[in-house]
Amino acid sequence: MSDAFTQQLVIHVDDNTIRAGQSVVELFPRPAVVVPASYSIKPDTLSEFVAGSIEGAETRWPFRPSSADDWEGREFLLKHVLSLLGVDTSSNPPSVLLVPPCPLPQPDSALYTQLAFEKLNLPAFSLLCAPLAALFALNTTTGIVVHVGHETTTVSVVVDAIARECGAVVELGRRDVEAAFARALAADDAVDAELRLAAGAAEWTPGQKDALVTELVGAVIAECGDDIDIPLAQAGAAVVLPPLPAEEDAFDVAKKLVGDAVPQPQTKSKKVSATARAAAAAADAAAADIVAVTVPSLGKEVNVGRVRHRLLDPLLKGIGAGGDTVWEGVGRAVDHPCLSVPEKISVYDAIAVTGELAHIRSFQTALITYLAPFLLSSADFVSDSQPSRARALTIPDYLANFKGATNDLAPFLGASMVAKASFSDTAGKHCVTKIDYNAKGPAAIYAVTSEA
pLDDT in tens, 397-447: 999 899 999 999 999 999 999 988 888 865 557 899 999 999 999 999 998
Q: What percent of the chain has pLDDT over 70?
A: 84
DSSP annotation string for 382-451 = --SSS-SEEEB----TTSGGGTT--GGGHHHHHHHHHHHHHHH--SSSS-EEHHHHHHHGGGGHHHHHHH
Q: How confident is the model over 123-130, as a mean pLDDT? A: 94
Lowest mean pLDDT among 19-23, 113-117, 243-247: 243-247
Residue 263 pLDDT greater than 60, yes or no: no
> pTM of the prediction?
0.86
Contact 167, 154 (CB under 8 A): yes
**Checking DSSP bridges between strand 8-13 and strand 124-127, what pairing results, if any?**
unpaired
Q: What is the mean pLDDT of residues 301-328?
A: 95
* Tally of CB atoms within 10 A around 202: 6
State how far the Cα of 129 lies from the Cα of 104, in Å rounded to an integer.
7
| pLDDT attached to residue 273 | 62
Query: Which pLDDT does position 299 carry in this prediction?
Result: 93
- 178-192, 249-263, 298-312: the lowest-pLDDT one: 249-263
Distance CA(426)–CA(433), nearest Å, equals 7
For 348-404, how does the pLDDT look when each residue is reduced to its tens digit (9 = 90+)?
Answer: 999 999 998 999 999 999 999 999 999 987 767 777 888 988 999 999 999 989 999
Q: Which of 48-52, 133-137, 172-176 has the lowest mean pLDDT?
A: 48-52
Q: Which of 333, 373, 395 is nearest to 165 (CA)?
A: 333
Q: Are strands 95-99 and 124-127 parallel, antiparallel or unpaired?
A: parallel
What does the pLDDT average to over 68-75? 94
The whole-angstrom distance between residue 334's C-alpha and the CA centroid of its chain comes to: 22
For residue 447, the model assigns a pLDDT of 85
Does the N-terminal peptide bond of residue 337 adopt cis geometry, omega within 30 degrees of 0? no
- The answer on pLDDT for 179 being more than 70 is yes
**CA-based max dimension of the chain:** 82
5-19, 200-214, 257-271, 336-350: segment of lowest average pLDDT: 257-271
Work out the angle at residue 356's Cα, subtended by the Cα atoms of residues 51 and 136, and round it to the nearest 5 degrees: 105
Least confident of 69-73, 159-163, 314-318, 427-431: 427-431
In this structure, the number of other CB atoms found within 10 A of the CB of residue 384 comes to 7
pLDDT digits (tens, 9 = 90+) for 9-60: 999 999 999 999 988 756 789 999 999 999 998 877 767 899 988 887 889 9
Q: What average pLDDT is seen over the chain? A: 87
Residues 6+ apart with CB under 8 A from 341: 384, 385
Element holding 144 (H helix, E strand) = strand 143-148
Beta strands in 14-134 (DSSP E): 17-22, 33-36, 39-41, 49-51, 58-60, 95-99, 124-127
Average pLDDT value for residue range 325-335: 96
By percentage, how much of the chain surpasses pLDDT 90?
68
